Amino acid sequence: MTGATLGAADLWGLFGQFMLLSFLAIGGAITTTPEMHRYLVIEHHWMTDPQFTASVAIAQAAPGPNVLFVAVMGWNVGGPLGALATMAGILIPSTALSLWATRWGASRRETRGVRAFTQGMAPLTIGLLLATGWVLAGPAAGRFGSVLLVAATVLVMMRTKLSPMWAVAAGAVVGALGWA
């Protein structure tokens, strides 16, 4: 399905889905990528696996905010109105909630409950990021070079303080040479 064929009901559904995801985006919008994949690729068939992965990769490679991949997905499934629906859906609720929670939490930051909540968010965020990595690495799972590159990247990131941009560069070289 192309962006030109989405009707008003589909655009409102897209907006509503991304509003819901906004409340689950602990650690950033990228952590909701598995659910976006389910909705856009599996449930509605508006994108293929390679289109989905390319949308995330293109937006992540571009300079600017991390959340740009949401606009690219919206554009790919609904054109300019799709981009507006996904971006408004992902930004409005989380921005309003973040503003309120920041003000509320700042005035209570030394309370036991706020400290416990803050510490409890770290494992949740890591789990969501691992799920995102799993979904994004899925299309490359059958290729030995890709699996090796993912494993090497994880190992290097865990053991060194190298910039992740070196892993991105290595991935670009491996892909350009056709090894992955």
Question: Is the overall model pTM greater than 0.75, yes or no?
Answer: no
**CA dihedral sign, ordered 60, 158, 24, 109:** negative
Check residue 2 and give its pLDDT: 45
Q: Tell me the C-alpha to C-alpha distance, in Å, between residue 69 and each of 54, 58, 86.
A: 10, 8, 10
Q: What are phi and psi of 46, to 5 degrees?
A: -80, -20
Q: d(Cα 54, Cα 58) in Å, to the nearest integer? A: 6
Q: d(Cα 123, Cα 141) in Å, to the nearest integer? A: 25
CB < 8 Å & 24+ apart, contacts of 94-97? 94/22, 94/23, 94/25, 97/23
pLDDT in tens, the chain (180 residues): 444 578 999 999 999 999 999 988 877 888 899 999 999 999 999 999 999 998 898 888 887 788 899 999 999 999 999 999 999 999 999 889 889 988 988 888 889 988 888 888 888 888 887 887 778 777 777 777 777 887 888 899 889 988 888 888 888 888 788 776
| 3-state SS, residue 139 | helix
Structure tokens at 174: 């491996």
- Which of 142, 143, 121, 123 is closest to 131 using CA atoms? 123
Check residue 101 and give its pLDDT: 85
Q: How far is CA 6 from the centre of its chain?
A: 22
Q: What are phi and psi of 38, to 5 degrees?
A: -60, -45
Check residue 4 and give its pLDDT: 52
